[in-house]
Chains A and B, each alone.
Chain A
Amino acid sequence: MSEPLLQIRNLCASIEEGELLHNINLEIRPGETHVLMGPNGAGKSTLGNTIMGSPVYKVTGGSIFFDGQDITDLSADKRAAAGLFMSFQNPLEVPGLSMESFLRNAIRQRTGKPIKILTFKRELEETMKLLQMDESYAERDLNVGFSGGEKKKAEILQLLMLRPRLAILDETDSGLDVDAVRTVSMGIEEYQKKRGGALLVITHSTRILDSLDVDYTHVLVRGQIVRTGDASLVKEINEGGFERYANEKEA
């Protein structure tokens, strides 16, 4: 078995008001796909943000290793440079910064090398086509005035352009219509199957999972992982809800 890419041990994270994540343990190996489910307010986004290094959450216990390196105290940009990525539940609008120049800067920052403009342009064009995004979006300010679906497509566009080794997808499918979910799923599939990228998929539905091979499913309730299983757990949860797992743990 290969070495874990992401290894989280006894992770606790807090904000001023109190602890939100309690003793989280999670291991993701290269190329694996993990699903993270749980009721609203369970702490799923908090976990994603903490793995990414958000300054909002303070790690009050435990550690995060990525590719053998302790990243618990690294800034978010260094984690990204190491190969981590997160598709935001609510992507931010960045007025004044065009998507294209943003992507160019991000790629150059990550690789430390000047980029080949023509190769970049071609890849951008092809990827936008795959995601059925109009060319004009390249020129537009990042996420400014984008619809919910367009924002999520832009996140997946960044995923494909930046080529991380592990991507956290935080409710990338929420609020999208059927067609948009299909398109976004195609992008994720490309990342998973053609590039062997690892995934931590936070989701409420099964639609986005239809085209993905799922290795593990975790259930997060009130800041704790209460159950881990294989792909079949997703179905079980969708039929039975989360309540029994929450009770199981407390009992």
Chain B
Amino acid sequence: MAQTFKVGHLPSITWNRLHLNEASVETALSGNLPGSRYLSLPQGASVRTLSFAQALAELEKTAPVQEQEKYVAGKAPVYHPQKFGTGLGADYEQAMQDAGVPVEWIEIGPAEQEQTITCRMTLQDGESASCAQILHVGENAQVTALYVSESAEDAAGVLALSVRAVLEKGASLKLALVQLLGSGFTALSDVGLSAADGAGAELIQMELGADRSYVGVQPELIGKEASFDSAMGYLANGEQRLDINYNAVQRGRQTRCAMTFDGVLGDRAQKVFRGTIDFRNGSSGSKGEEQENVLLLSNDVENRTMPVILCEEEDVEGSHGATIGRLDEQVLFYLATRGIDAAEAQKMMVRARLGAVARRIPDEAARHRAQDYIDRKVNCDTCVRAADCPQAWNEKGSTGEKS
């Protein structure tokens, strides 16, 4: 049964007049895991399956101090309070809970070798599925976590994803979310992170498919010198709609946050981007930056952007930058004098821009799939492909499970 809920709210209501404070989603969430899912965990990891309510109760212990929530900068109240913040927010959390989505709680401690979580979801046409995980990354542990969702090119369905990570002191997490779903999908992807002293998260997110797509990311840099570094890439054409909400909350002293967003919009695609850097009381000496680059391939796209920087501290440095526009005429002429026509130039630029993000995906097969997906979507018949790149997934997982 379809329901409507709000996702991806701005932390303040500065932009209310534009009615873009949040997105409204109409869909039916399912309590089922994807029918075809490959999950591989590192050797020493443990996993428990909890109800959403149980998981939230346990998470609360790691939630930021409530008292601080009263002093949200921007002078507006947090109107969607959440104990452990995520980018899509409280309504989405509630919807998942109501749908009975189970939560997999994964504990990972430090280890000698690199530890990798791989979660690959292959959805069928008409399938509605959810996947919620909480990663508890122990002190000084180093973890890579990869989530890839795929389906047939023209398949339809719903995938609701939720990944929360609690990073203890000195922990580091490299998180990659790669969405390669078919053209009829509604894709929801929600991330919440908390980082203790010296902990660092790197996020690579690619939104390449689906019809409607909602992504939210909220890193909370709680400890001293905690950091967040993200690269997001998206490609939307046809009638695709994409809603992005990144909300970096910098609470600790000398925290660092750097977020880049590289996108391509074609045809009649619509995109809303909210990117907030929120310096809270106590975040002195912190730096935060966001940079958005959007390539517009048609005049009919709708590209809306709301960068917000909130400061409760004096001694912080926040910046945002944006380059948004069509391919430059002079550049097109330059490339043309080398024999490259406008259509090919456009494809090259799309591949170059998104390829730079795809290259950061920490898995060769996933990287290749993303690149391939881009090539297909820009219908690139002459693109060069690395001959020696494996087409097939590497199924070597220490505790791989196929469900």
- Chain A residues within CB distance 8 Å of chain B: 52-56, 75-77, 79-81, 84-86, 88, 91-92, 94, 96-98, 101-102, 104-106, 108-110, 158, 162
Q: List 22 A-B contacts (CB under 8 A).
A: A54-B333, A75-B336, A76-B333, A76-B337, A77-B341, A80-B336, A80-B339, A85-B337, A92-B331, A94-B331, A96-B349, A96-B352, A96-B353, A97-B352, A98-B352, A105-B382, A106-B335, A109-B338, A109-B340, A109-B341, A158-B338, A162-B339
Query: Which partner residue on chain A sits nearest B356 by CB separation?
Result: A96
User: In whole angstroms, how far apart are the Cα atoms of A79 and B333 in the complex?
Assistant: 12
Query: Which partner residue on chain A sits nearest B382 by CB separation?
Result: A108
10 closest A-B pairs by beta carbon, nearest first, are: A76-B336, A96-B352, A80-B339, A77-B341, A110-B339, A106-B338, A77-B336, A92-B334, A109-B339, A97-B352
Instruction: Name the interface residues of B319-337: CB closer than 8 Å to any CB of A.
Output: 328-331, 333-337
Across the interface, which residues of B come within 8 angstroms of A79, CB to CB? Answer: 337
Asked if A102 and B348 sit within 8 Å, CB to CB, the answer is yes
Distance to closest chain A CB from B225 (angstroms):
31
User: In whole angstroms, how far apart are the Cα atoms of A245 and B348 in the complex?
Assistant: 47
User: In whole angstroms, how far apart are the Cα atoms of A55 and B330 in the complex?
Assistant: 9
The residue from B330, B337, B348 contacting A105, defined by CB atoms under 8 A apart: B348
The residue from B330, B340, B356, B382 contacting A92, defined by CB atoms under 8 A apart: B330
Across the interface, which residues of B come within 8 angstroms of A110, CB to CB? Answer: 339
Residue of A56, A80, A104, A105 with most partner-chain B CB within 10 A: A105
Distance to closest chain A CB from B235 (angstroms):
14
User: In whole angstroms, how far apart are the Cα atoms of A91 and B339 in the complex?
Assistant: 16
A86-B348 in contact given A96-B353, A96-B356, A108-B382 (Cβ < 8 Å) = no
Distance to closest chain B CB from A29 (angstroms):
22
Instruction: Name the interface residues of B367-403: CB closer than 8 Å to any CB of A.
Output: 382, 384
User: In whole angstroms, how far apart are the Cα atoms of A52 and B332 in the complex?
Assistant: 13
A101-B338 in contact given A76-B333, A94-B331 (Cβ < 8 Å) = no
Residue of B331, B336, B341, B384 with most partner-chain A CB within 10 A: B336
User: In whole angstroms, how far apart are the Cα atoms of A162 and B336 in the complex?
Assistant: 13
SS class, residues of chain B in contact with chain A: helix
Asked if B338 and A80 sit within 8 Å, CB to CB, the answer is yes
Distance to closest chain A CB from B86 (angstroms):
31
The residue from A80, A97, A102 contacting B337, defined by CB atoms under 8 A apart: A80
The residue from A54, A96, A98, A162 contacting B338, defined by CB atoms under 8 A apart: A162
Distance to closest chain A CB from B401 (angstroms):
39
Asked if B329 and A55 sit within 8 Å, CB to CB, the answer is yes
Across the interface, which residues of B come within 8 angstroms of A108, CB to CB? Answer: 382
User: In whole angstroms, how far apart are the Cα atoms of A124 and B104 in the complex?
Assistant: 52
Asked if B339 and A55 sit within 8 Å, CB to CB, the answer is no
Across the interface, which residues of A come within 8 angstroms of B333, CB to CB? Answer: 52, 54-56, 76
Residue of A54, A75, A109 with most partner-chain B CB within 10 A: A109
Asked if B336 and A109 sit within 8 Å, CB to CB, the answer is no
Query: Which partner residue on chain A sits nearest B331 by CB separation?
Result: A92
The residue from B329, B331, B337 contacting A86, defined by CB atoms under 8 A apart: B337
Is B344 among interface residues, defined by CB-CB distance under 8 A?
Answer: yes
User: In whole angstroms, how far apart are the Cα atoms of A55 and B329 in the complex?
Assistant: 9
Across the interface, which residues of A come within 8 angstroms of B352, CB to CB? Answer: 96-98, 101
A101-B384 in contact given A54-B333, A76-B333 (Cβ < 8 Å) = yes
Residue of B335, B341, B384 with most partner-chain A CB within 10 A: B335
Across the interface, which residues of A come within 8 angstroms of B331, CB to CB? Answer: 92, 94
Across the interface, which residues of A come within 8 angstroms of B382, CB to CB? Answer: 105, 108-109
A81-B337 in contact given A92-B330, A101-B352, A105-B348 (Cβ < 8 Å) = no
As a 0/1 sequence over residues 300 to 334 of chain B, the CB contacts with chain A under 8 angstroms (1 = contact) are 00000000000000000000000000001111011
Query: Which partner residue on chain B sits nearest A86 by CB separation?
Result: B337
User: In whole angstroms, how far apart are the Cα atoms of A52 and B356 in the complex?
Assistant: 31
Distance to closest chain B CB from A98 (angstroms):
8
Across the interface, which residues of A come within 8 angstroms of B384, CB to CB? Answer: 101, 104-105
Query: Which partner residue on chain A sits nearest B295 by CB separation?
Result: A96
Across the interface, which residues of B come within 8 angstroms of A102, CB to CB? Answer: 335, 338, 348
Asked if A106 and B339 sit within 8 Å, CB to CB, the answer is yes
User: In whole angstroms, how far apart are the Cα atoms of A56 and B328 in the complex?
Assistant: 13
Query: Which partner residue on chain B sits nearest A79 by CB separation?
Result: B337
User: In whole angstroms, how far apart are the Cα atoms of A30 and B248 in the complex?
Assistant: 63
Across the interface, which residues of A come within 8 angstroms of B353, CB to CB? Answer: 96
Instruction: Name the interface residues of B352-368: CB closer than 8 Å to any CB of A.
Output: 352-353, 356
